Amino acid sequence: MKQCHQFTASHDRRHWLQTTACGFGALAFQAFAHRIARAAGSGLDHKPQANRVIFLFMHGGVSQVDSFDPKPALSEYNGKKLPFKGIENLDVSLKDKAGYGKLLDTTWKFQQYGESGAWVSELWPHLAKHADDLCFIKSMHTKGTSHGQAVSMIHTGNDNLLRPSVGAWVSYGLGAENENLPAFISITPPAGHGGTRNYGSAFLPAHHQATALGHSSSKTEDATIDYLQPADAHSAHQHRQLEMLNEINKKHFGKSRDPQLDGVIRSYELAARMQGVAPELIDISKESKETRELYGMDRKETSSFGHRCLLARRFCEAGVRYIQVSTPYVWDQHNNLVKGHTKNALSVDKPIAGLLEDLKQRGMFDDTLVVWGTEFGRTPVAQNKNGRDHNPAGFTVWLSGAGVKAGFSHGSTDEFGYFAQDDKVHMHDLHATILHILGIDHKKLTYRYAGRDFRLTDVYGEVVRDILA
Amino acid sequence: MWDAMSQTKLITIVLSAFFGVGAITASNVVASDGRATQVDFFETTIRPVLVEHCYECHSAEAGEAKGGLRLDSKQGWLVGGDSGPAIIPGKPDESHVLLAINYSGDMSEMPPKSRLSSKVIRDFTQWIEDGAVDPREDEGSAVQKRVIDIEAGKKFWSFQPRQTFSEECSIDGLARPQSPPASADKLVRRLFLDVIGLPPTLEEQRNFQAVYSNESPGRAVEVFLEDLFGRKEFGEKWARHWLDVARYADSNGSDFNLTYPEAWRYRNYVIEALNDDLPYDQFLLEQIAGDLLPYDTLEQRNQQLVATTFLMVGPKMLTERDKEKMRLDIADEQLDTISRATMGLTLGCARCHDHKFDPIPTTDYYALAAILHSTLTTDGILMNNVNISGWKETDLLINEDERQRLETFRSKIKNIEENIQQKKQQRDKVLDSVAGVLVDDIDATRKGKWRKSTHRPKYVGDHYLVADDQESPFSIEWKAALPKPGRYELRVSFRGGKGLATKAHYTVHHAEGENQVVVDQTVLPSIDQLWQPIGQFECDTHVVVNLAGSATDKPVLADAIRLVHVEDLEKDMPTDTSSLDEEIKHLEEALAGIKKDSPKIPRAMASQDNGSERIGDLHIRIRGETKNIGEKTPRGFLQVVSWNGAAQPSIPAHQSGRVQLAEWITAKENPLTARVMVNRIWQHLFGRGIVETSDNFGVRGTVPSNPELLDFLAEEFVNSNWSVKSVIRKIIRSKAYQQAVTEFSEEIVERVQFQKQYRRPAPAETIRDSLLALSGKLDGEPRDSVVSEFGMYAIESNGKRHVSLGQTGKLRQRSVYLPVVRGAIPPSLAIFDFPNPDLVTGKRATTTVPAQALFMMNSPFVHEMSHALSLLLLQNNVTIEKSIQQLYRRVLIRQAGHDEVSKGKKYVAELIEEGQPLEQAFASFVQVLFCSAEFRFIE
């Protein structure tokens, strides 16, 4: 009985620390917990290949058969019926009564690039030059035929329920590299299709959620961290105000020694440091002309996404663990595929290629994992005259940088690019693989909530070993 | 290539549909060879495949039995996994293993990475058809299906009946407080912030102090507590605690963030229920089954209807295209909310498999889920899109007269509409009898971009055409061959409406030349709302009609044309057609007139039972997959939560069972409900619950640190007729509550046993409301809908949001009345641990993060409050010393120390010296106190 009692007490103390000593204190505690976890052999069980992730999210659904997964059969059978049943619950207009649709050939020419001979369509001329840096997964599949579900799936591993986002799990698992900055930053995250839940912490402690810079429809140059700067002029004296505050708080703490109060003191200190560091990071005015051009910031079409990618690199350099960059919700071409995809690819192709190049030049390519993804692909059958519907059954993502084979392609779809067929990779598998590359075993990174140990991949997920470098 | 492709697919299809037939042929060959051959067949053909492709996840060796299934012994597949036996010897088409490897869509696809070859699938089919001879009788360790022992489960503390207590028993007797009473200043601040969420005024502080020192601390608390209970601010503070648990929000969030314009009624219902001290059992009954309860007055009916908004305000995947999955997901969300909010049980796990920790089998889950599944939550469609579901709203009638008026109004409308319909049918009949030549768009010649559509309700043939990609010119040409020359009326069809082109240019080529006719497509055509006569023309045997355009910004519709000989018009069109038209016109005008005067009836987001066809028991969904259907389970309740051998209430076949569900939850004997609620109340007054995991009273939760205290409070709660105020009163009047805060120490044990009060962070609302109140800026008026101005979308899918959603910092009402838009919680709340309204949250996180510091330092809101209070304090031209003393008294509810006054004075003086005006310099100091840890904590 006595032992039992003691157990309760020590458990409770740990919990007490966990729930109250937050902010700066929490980071310290986290680092401490992190070391314990390593020593105990749980959670972080192998040497990480990457120290951070940049996730480039193409919101709306990029068509794989028009980008990286060429299907010659499409041109042969353009306008003919799909010879098998398509997925359920898609738009009725693209099917005839039997549930079949008519195939639609791609408009864009494909060509092989680099030594790896990767196929890339003319939509992606700049990225094509990096063919030998890319590792394609052409057999992706996911859950959810609507954006809401699939966007939630790619960000949180669940198509319906609120769960922590990938970046929040990474922050929880690895903590911050730079104590003056959050571990997870989302640049212009989508405000629709779940909005904040796509970069939230759900039931994980709140400081694991992303610090957001604006949202997907804000102008990149205006995107900033909330309340980073004082609201009015009198704050010219803010440093003195903080000194005064610190004195008052310390006196209060001195009487009580309550760690909660210490947490408040540290949170003001950290905030003040963030206030010193972050604005400079967000301000790109000191970047050279060459760098700006590398990201396409000199051209109207590419300046916005180029700016976002450049910010990602800057946060990366500053030691942020997980950085997401999102396009607006523009890829959803049920109509106007040719015009839409041309415009969208144009706006991101050069900036992404620039980012890869820049990471290389700065020697960061070797410990940074870049993931390019979309919530689902698009059907090889036509919707309307010039469009494609959602396709969660088969699509392409690519990874690049630390931890993955360069100039490699994994998995395939069927002859028309509809269903993932060989070496299928589910979204859960992609998540497991990203965590693996960061040195985390996805089955061991758990958090207890409502009586259950939750993990990013739920009860699923398998590391795609074939693509690991 | 094409052939190879279609063959593979063909085989899949044929196999999944006809493998039985194929297998019979094969079995005839093998069966005669006897058992030895069959073992051989297994060893050479089946076992290697199992080892290579299945053991990884389904064997003892790998330590995995995914889906509960093991395939490394005969026993393994005989017992089977979550879906039951995996192989039925002789019956390939009923064997789950075969369905899975066939990728037939009825089961999970196995192995998950790639489909096995057709040959392997044929082999398995044959093997099963032949009786699935499997020699691995003794291999693998014994396979046993875990069975939940309900009786053993009942022994867990939270399922046990409550202890009873003697009359002498008290909170203080059980909690044994050891510290002296808190000082008058600390106690009055604690009392006000805990009970109404606002700081005491100077006068209230003085009065409290007087009773405290003249009589006793306990007496001061007693007097003021009753005063505070009488204020509406009590409900406004405590409602928020329940709204956290009820995952209340003013928008859907999820995939499609639509505004919930009527949700506010529920928020105000909760506030009123608390202020009126509505018994908690009744409070729950109304929220779960209010629409089904009897009522004496319409007000009561309305209140009960509004209460059921509790079921409705969860986030819903409205665009889920598999609507049965959506309904099951919603029932799941509702069930999880009800069970966690009221009984502290998480049932969600049991949707896919028996609960791994708590004694809750899947059958219990579906028994309960069926009750919610029999309830109408989503209703109809939105935006004319079959993929987007809407939700149920119900009229709230205030009195009988109004009901009469509404009914009269509705029947009047219905009559007229029916009348119009009738007249139109008559007219259609007449018109249909009109002969003529019809040419549909499908036989017309098109140029440019036309898109087929069936979006509009009326068209000729299979579809109509839309030209809405206006970059290039477009045209369509109908050619009609006429039976005889003569004068014809030309009619063109299009279902007109808003947003279409106002000038569609038709060209008619006829015997006498050509005519241009411009048609306004925004206007509904006069005949059958589809056909528009556009003129009469002299024709020989051919007419060509052309519709063309370019670069207009509005879409143009094209469908069919019809040519009617004027003789036929005169002959077949009886004189009364025009009178019919006239009548219809009058009726439609009358209808529009009546609708204008429609009585404005408030509506509630209220649930109701489904129609009889959708009421009933549910089939278990194996692994929670919508289409993986298992046994049907009768509706009912948790077996483990039952008492005195009492039979569980039975549910009438024609009802959802929500009344019985609510009665079971609120039964006095229910071991969980009262405990969970008193624990929540205790938590809000001490910072942590007696059971620390206040939403989880299951095996994975924490055990009560002081079980007697918990049961004592629960007993008192039930015996006081479930009065929430009475429990709060008992706790606040205790010495345990009133004692001074003990400083943090390593002796956590004492804390756990609740002998002491500890310092705890003030909730977001208390910080914000206090700032407003102290600065004289609080608008104390209640609010109704705070989101109706946002229109249909709270936040559009492209991220666009109503401008005022970004300006919540300018709102001055109490925090409980701020808009709770999912994904856009006002920063003043979100930053201070306001819970995510997608989740049931009984215990908020308490974080101290830099974002909070940034908000306090830099937000316009805190700056504005600091300035306002600065002006208030300086307005009477008092000295800086006086102002600083006043400031401490108001903000921190205590006297300022001498050194504090002198330091403050020095600080202000220095800023003034640097050229800042007095109000600004003082505001800067006010802000320092707002930022202080002391202000942000309750002691």
Instruction: Tell me the domain boundaries of chain A.
Output: 48-228+290-467
Chain A touched by B81 (CB under 8 Å): no
Chain A touched by B843 (CB under 8 Å): no
| Strand B504-510 with B608-609, pairing | unpaired
CB-closest option in B66, B257, B349 to A452? B349
Question: Which ranges constitute the DSSP H helices of A283-406?
Answer: 289-294, 300-318, 337-361
Interfacial A residues in 349-378 facing B (CB < 8 Å) = none
Indicate if the pLDDT at residue A94 is higher than 50: no
Chain A touched by B349 (CB under 8 Å): yes
pLDDT score at B97: 87
- Distance from the Cα of B350 to chain A's closest Cα (Å) equals 12
Interface pTM (ipTM) of the complex? 0.72
Interfacial B residues in 153-192 facing A (CB < 8 Å) = none
Residue of A nearest to B696 (CA): A450
CB-closest option in A205, A216, A240 to B799? A216
Read off φ and ψ for residue B629, nearest 5 degrees: -95, 130
Q: B123 near B46, Cβ under 8 Å?
A: yes
pLDDT score at A327: 93
B511 and B637 in one domain? Answer: no
Chain A touched by B57 (CB under 8 Å): no
Question: For residue B671, is it within any domain?
Answer: no
B98 and B14 in one domain? Answer: yes
Q: Count Cβ atoms within 10 A of the Cβ of residue A456 and give its class: 0-12 exposed, 13-18 middle, 19 or more buried.
A: buried
B918 and B871 in one domain? Answer: yes
What b/e string do you get for B122-138 counting C-beta neighbours within 10 Å, with b at 16 or more?
Answer: bbbbbbbbbebbbebee
How many other C-beta atoms are found inside a 10 Å radius of the C-beta of residue B97? 24
Question: For residue B140, is it within any domain?
Answer: no
Chain A touched by B743 (CB under 8 Å): yes
Amino acid at B163: Q
Residues above pLDDT 70, as percent of chain A: 86
The answer to whether the CB atoms of B5 and A73 lie below 8 A apart is: yes
Question: For residue B243, is it within any domain?
Answer: no
The answer to whether the CB atoms of A76 and B2 lie below 8 A apart is: yes
Q: Own/partner pairs for A246-252, CB < 8 Å, 24+ apart?
A: A247/B903, A248/B900, A248/B928, A248/B929, A248/B932, A248/B934, A249/B932, A249/B933, A249/B934, A252/B932, A252/B933, A252/B934
The answer to whether the CB atoms of B797 and A192 lie below 8 A apart is: yes
Chain A touched by B860 (CB under 8 Å): yes
pTM: 0.73
Give me the total of CB pairs closer than 8 Å, taking one residue from chain A and one from chain B.
293
Interfacial A residues in 179-218 facing B (CB < 8 Å) = 190-197, 200, 202-203, 205-207, 211, 215-217
Chain A touched by B447 (CB under 8 Å): no
Residue of B nearest to A19 (CA): B846
Question: For residue B746, is it within any domain?
Answer: no
Average pLDDT per run of 10 along chain B, which is 939 residues long?
41 36 35 64 84 82 77 84 84 85 74 79 88 76 68 92 92 90 97 98 97 97 97 98 97 90 97 98 98 93 97 92 90 95 90 83 94 93 83 85 83 88 76 72 86 78 79 85 88 87 89 89 84 89 85 80 82 59 85 81 92 90 84 91 78 93 95 98 93 88 90 97 98 96 61 71 97 97 92 82 86 97 91 89 84 93 96 90 96 96 96 92 96 96
Structural domain ending residue among the three candidates B617, B647, B666: B666
pLDDT score at B221: 98
A180: its two tokens: 């003056």
Q: Which CATH number belongs to the domain containing residue B518 in this structure?
A: 2.60.120.260
The answer to whether the CB atoms of B854 and A226 lie below 8 A apart is: yes
Question: For residue B74, is it within any domain?
Answer: yes
Q: Which positions in chain B touch A203 (Cβ < 8 Å)?
A: 839
Indicate if the pLDDT at residue A33 is higher than 60: no
Q: Which positions in chain A touch B2 (Cβ < 8 Å)?
A: 73, 76-77, 83
Of A36 and B232, the one with more pLDDT: B232
B939 and B852 in one domain? Answer: yes
Interfacial A residues in 262-321 facing B (CB < 8 Å) = 263-268, 270-272, 274-275
Q: Which positions in chain B touch A16 (Cβ < 8 Å)?
A: 748, 751
pLDDT score at B736: 94
Assign A46 a pLDDT band (cuts: 50, 70, 90). confident
Q: Which positions in chain A touch B253 (Cβ < 8 Å)?
A: 194-195, 197
What b/e string do you get for B833-862 counting C-beta neighbours within 10 Å, with b at 16 or more?
Answer: bbbbbbbbbbbbbbbbbbbbbbbbbbbebb
The answer to whether the CB atoms of A149 and B255 lie below 8 A apart is: yes
Domain that residue B117 falls in: 2-129
B505 and B449 in one domain? Answer: yes
Pick one of 3.40.720.10, 1.10.3720.10, 3.90.550.10, 3.40.50.720 as the CATH number of A48-228+290-467.
3.40.720.10
- Distance from the Cα of A456 to chain B's closest Cα (Å) equals 16
Assign A343 a pLDDT band (cuts: 50, 70, 90). very high
Q: Which positions in chain A touch B108 (Cβ < 8 Å)?
A: none
Residue carrying structure tokens 């000038």: B503
Q: How far apart are CA A176 and CA A19, in angstroms?
A: 18
Residue of B nearest to A10 (CA): B748
What b/e string do you get for A355-388 counting C-beta neighbours within 10 Å, with b at 16 or more?
Answer: bbbbbeeeebbebbbbbbbbbbbbbbbbbbebbb
B496 and B550 in one domain? Answer: yes
Chain A touched by B689 (CB under 8 Å): no
pLDDT score at B214: 97
- Rounded (10°) CA dihedral B56, B62, B65, B69: 60
pLDDT score at B886: 95
CB-closest option in A89, A244, A255 to B928? A244
Chain B touched by A238 (CB under 8 Å): yes
Q: B486 near B539, Cβ under 8 Å?
A: yes
B652 and B537 in one domain? Answer: no
Element spanning B228, H or E: helix B217-229
Q: Count Cβ atoms within 10 A of the Cβ of residue A431 and give its class: 0-12 exposed, 13-18 middle, 19 or more buried.
A: buried
Q: Which positions in chain B touch A390 (Cβ < 8 Å)?
A: none
CB-closest option in B387, B453, B854 to A228? B854
Q: How far apart are CA A424 and CA A462, in angstroms?
A: 11
Chain B touched by A246 (CB under 8 Å): no
Our count of domains for chain B comes to 4
3 state SS for B417-447: HHHHHHHHHHHHHHHHCCCCEEECHHHCEEE
Opening angle at CA B192, ends B190 and B193, nearest 5:
65
Read off φ and ψ for residue B443, nearest 5 degrees: -100, 5
Opening angle at CA B248, ends B245 and B250, nearest 5:
170
B625 and B561 in one domain? Answer: no
Chain B touched by A96 (CB under 8 Å): no
Residue of A nearest to B849 (CA): A23
pLDDT score at B10: 38
Question: For residue B503, is it within any domain?
Answer: yes
Chain B touched by A464 (CB under 8 Å): no
CB-closest option in B699, B748, B931 to A245? B931
B121 and B24 in one domain? Answer: yes
Interfacial B residues in 234-273 facing A (CB < 8 Å) = 253-257
Residue from B797, B810, B911, B924 whose CB has the most chain A CBs within 10 Å, to mutate: B797
What value does the CA radius of gyration of chain B take, rounded to a whole number of Å? 37
pLDDT score at A374: 98
